[in-house]
Chain A
Amino acid sequence: MNKVSLPATLARATFLSFIAALVIMPLVATVLGGFKTVGELRASPFGLPWVWHFDTYLGILGSPTFWNFLGNSLVISLTAVALTLLCASMAAFVFAQIQFFGSRYLQSYLLLGMMFPFATAIVPLFIQVRDFGLLDNPLGVILPQTAFSMAFAIVLLKSFFEQLPKELFEAAHVDGCGYIGFFFRFTLPLSTPILATVGTFVFVQSWNNYLLPLVVLNDRSLFTWPLGIMQFRGEFIVEWNKILAFVSLTILPALVFFAVTQKYIVAGLTRGSVKG
């Protein structure tokens, strides 16, 4: 370890705390803002509330539409995660376990999906979803979402499957276990860490997605929470305390989720970047 002088330590601590304050301050102001009245928010946007008003938060928590937004988002995100994990791990298993003519081409083809944002094709995608009759249908969000997560999921899963010991399959094969049985009985259970990583990523992406639901969902009862929050903002444009309370109630679960899953998120990030 380097010997570090006292001024250097102090400078380091000050710098880190300063940046941390810049990160935290807007978030704290948001949460506290929900406890203030509009008038107080104007006078003291960043300080502690003079009086803690709980009614704004309680009002939102008591409204069925709020829970409906969250419920819709949850259904869409969880389905997208399940579907992505299933389809991508089956494909990744084939690429990792079986050599066949065209495997390389197919993999490069799927890799194309990591090259461009899905916004690129959003106009024809909208037409496509409409022609399938999937407008105002959660599947209209879920299926494109799954398709766009596929490339990234396959890359991560395949590299993990390839690291599983080959002897395992040979042993299972001798015992009469076929590829499909092996996949469900051994590959998947042994791959929970990577499945958790990929699942977390797909979940966060889907949960936060705005453009796709915006294009596909028109019916308010189907709105995901980002659509709901934007609509809410349109209604209460000057009542910042309500908007901030609404935002707080959606970011708090996200931050809790992050605290619980950050191990997997960081793993996915670094895996993706180390692989390049």
Chain B
Amino acid sequence: MTQRPPHSITRMWRDGKLTTIVLFLPPAVVLFTVFVIWPILDAAHLSFFKWSGYGAVTNFVGVKNYSVLVANPIFHQSLLNSIKLILASIFLQIPLALALALLIYRKTSVNTAFRLIFFAPYILAEIATGLIWSFVFDGDYGITAQATAALGTDPIYVLADKHFAFLAIITVIVWKYFGYHMMIFIAALQAVSTDLLEAAEIDGARTWQTIIYVKLPLIMHAVKLSIFFAIVGALQVFDIIIPMTNGGPSNSTHSIVSYLYTFGLAQLNVGYGSAVGVVLFVLCITSAFSYKRLVMDGRARR
């Protein structure tokens, strides 16, 4: 941006630019500052105190909130759960989404119908999704009840079982978001020029060859972006976990956000909750920037 000579302010005033800036910018900037930036700065400040939310903030405890957090096994579990979610996204959800996108990206009415069906879970509220699936996984009513009844064994309560509960949550998250990734891939595939595909066909390329050598390289950017969204999404899972397991059994299925809610906000441990928030913030920002640096920009340089 070029710096303007000093008299430009008066000129901007006369042609109405300044008035427009002064009237149009503040609502967005003020709202954003008050409700987004200020709380995050406040979190950084409060994370060094022990505070119940009432009265003056005086009980400075240094980095104690952070050291307690870093040593907490439940927090470790929630980090591990986030990593599991990211891996499930990369190795299960995104390949599935990619396969489906390749099958139905062409604009036909049947494809459109499938596309709408696959995308529908994305639009559902997480809370509703969680409730629906806690019915499906209910050991007395749902799918496992059917299976165990057929086999004549004792009912299995998937969501109350330490070994299966988080797997169930992963299943639901894959179910809910694969259509979202599929849509991103479909948009990318539709942007691939048909000339290239025709050229490949004329050269005698088989279907799988066009996929591997033409289509995939051309939509790699979308795949990388998709993985990025999966990482960011995994770091903020909350609404699905609450109706399904509420973090249980024995705190084994927490996400970082549900951990923050349960141990910071619900008990009004303001300092501790803020510390979790700051850690989450740092995780998000560093993973966003380093992913962008290492993966997204790598393509441009090549």
Residue positions of A touching B, CB distance < 8 A: 2, 4, 12, 15-16, 19-20, 22-24, 26-27, 29-30, 33, 41-42, 45-46, 86-88, 90-91, 93-94, 97-104, 106, 109-110, 112-113, 115-128, 130, 143-144, 146-148, 150-151, 154, 178-180, 183, 204, 207-208, 210-211, 215, 226, 229-230, 233, 240, 243-244, 247, 250-251, 254-255, 257-259, 262, 265-266, 269-270, 273-274, 276
Which residue, B132, B136, B141, has most C-beta atoms of chain A within 10 A? Answer: B141
Is B73 interfacial (CB 8 A cutoff)?
Answer: no
Residues of the A chain whose Cβ atoms lie less than 8 Å from the Cβ of B53: 127, 130
Given the complex of chains A and B, what is the CA–CA distance between A198 and B274 in angstroms? 31
B239 contacts A254, C-beta separation under 8 Å: no
Q: 5 closest Cβ contacts across the A-B interface?
A: A147-B35, A121-B39, A117-B236, A270-B187, A208-B125
Complex: A106 Cα to B37 Cα, angstroms: 13
List chain B positions with a Cβ less than 8 A from chain A.
1, 3-4, 12, 16-17, 19-21, 23-25, 27-29, 31-32, 34-40, 42-43, 46, 53, 96, 100, 103-104, 114, 116-121, 123-128, 131-133, 135-136, 138, 140-143, 145-146, 175, 179-180, 183-184, 187-188, 191, 201, 207, 221-222, 225-226, 232, 235-236, 238-239, 242-243, 257, 260-261, 264-265, 270, 273-274, 277-278, 280-281, 284-285, 288, 296
Q: Is the CB of A118 within 8 A of B183?
A: no
Shortest CB-to-CB span from A199 to chain B, Å, is 15
Q: Which of B1, B127, B281 contacts A120 (CB 8 A)?
A: B281
| Dominant SS among interface residues on chain B | helix
Are B40 and A210 within 8 A (Cβ)? no
Contacts of A230 in B (CB 8 A): 127, 242-243
Pick 6 A–B contacts, CB within 8 A, sort by A: A19-B96, A20-B118, A23-B117, A30-B132, A226-B127, A230-B242
Q: Could you tell me if A90 and B28 are in contact, using CB atoms closer than 8 angstroms?
A: yes
Q: Is the CB of A269 within 8 A of B180?
A: yes
Report the minimum CB–CB distance from B219 to chain A (whole Å).
11
User: Would A41 and B141 count as touching, CB distance under 8 A?
Assistant: yes
A94 contacts B100, C-beta separation under 8 Å: no
Our pick among A24, A33, A99, A117 for the contact of B257 (Cβ within 8 Å) is A117
> Residue B285 contacts which of A4, A12, A116, A183 (CB distance < 8 angstroms)?
A116
Contacts of A178 in B (CB 8 A): 16, 20
The one of B20, B145, B222 in contact with A98, judged by C-beta atoms closer than 8 angstroms, is B20
Q: Write out the residue numbers on chain A whose beta carbons fall within 8 Å of the beta carbon of B31.
A: 87, 143, 146-147, 150
In chain B, what residue has the closest Cβ to A38? B141
Chain B residues with CB under 8 A of A215 = 265
**A residues in contact with B226, CB < 8 Å:** 273
Q: Do A258 and B120 touch (CB < 8 A)?
A: yes
Contact A127 B270 (CB under 8 A): yes
Q: How far is the CA of A146 from the CA of B33 in the complex (A)?
A: 12
**Residue in A120, A125, A150, A151 with the greatest tally of chain B CB atoms within 10 Å:** A120
Contact of A99 among B1, B260, B264 (CB under 8 A): B1
Distance in angstroms between the alpha carbons of A98 and B142 in the assembled complex:
59
- Kindly state the separation between the CA atoms of A93 and B257 in the bound complex, as whole angstroms: 35
Extra contacts, 16 of them, besides A110-B32, A250-B125 (Cβ < 8 A), are A2-B207, A29-B132, A33-B135, A46-B143, A109-B37, A112-B36, A117-B232, A123-B274, A124-B39, A150-B28, A150-B36, A208-B125, A240-B135, A240-B141, A254-B123, A254-B124
